């Protein structure tokens, strides 16, 4: 195997605080040439949906548990 730099899996990593439950999590979004499109990911604690530009479904890692002391799941109230 060569040690050549692999530009095929560029990652953008950012941290996010959930607006609903206050949990902090890290989002790893991979990017490919001409492959980015809106991809959904959800808060690991309450399931609230977010969206970012990525080539694949982003990976989410919990950093800090939720701070609202509840156990409920976020419910979209769009209907």
In the complex, the residues that contact Zn ion under the rule CB under 5 A are 18, 20-21, 23, 43, 45-46, 48
Return the number of the residue (18 or 54) whose C-beta is nearest Zn ion.
18
- Please tell me whether residue 51 adopts helix, strand or coil conformation: strand
As measured in angstroms, the least distance from the Cβ of 42 to Zn ion is 8
As measured in angstroms, the least distance from the Cβ of 4 to Zn ion is 40
**Which DSSP string corresponds to 4-20?**
----TTEEEEEEEE-TT
As measured in angstroms, the least distance from the Cβ of 10 to Zn ion is 27
Nearest-angstrom CA–CA distance, 64 and 42: 15
């Amino acid at each position: 195997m060569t040690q050549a730099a692999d530009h095929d899996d560029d990652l953008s990593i950012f941290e996010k605080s959930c607006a609903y439950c206050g949990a902090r999590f890290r989002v790893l979004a991979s990017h490919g040439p001409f492959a980015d499109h809106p991809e959904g990911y959800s808060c690991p604690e309450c399931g609230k949906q977010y969206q970012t530009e990525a080539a694949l479904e982003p990976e989410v890692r919990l950093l800090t548990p939720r701070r609202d002391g509840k156990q409920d799941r976020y419910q979209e109230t769009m209907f």
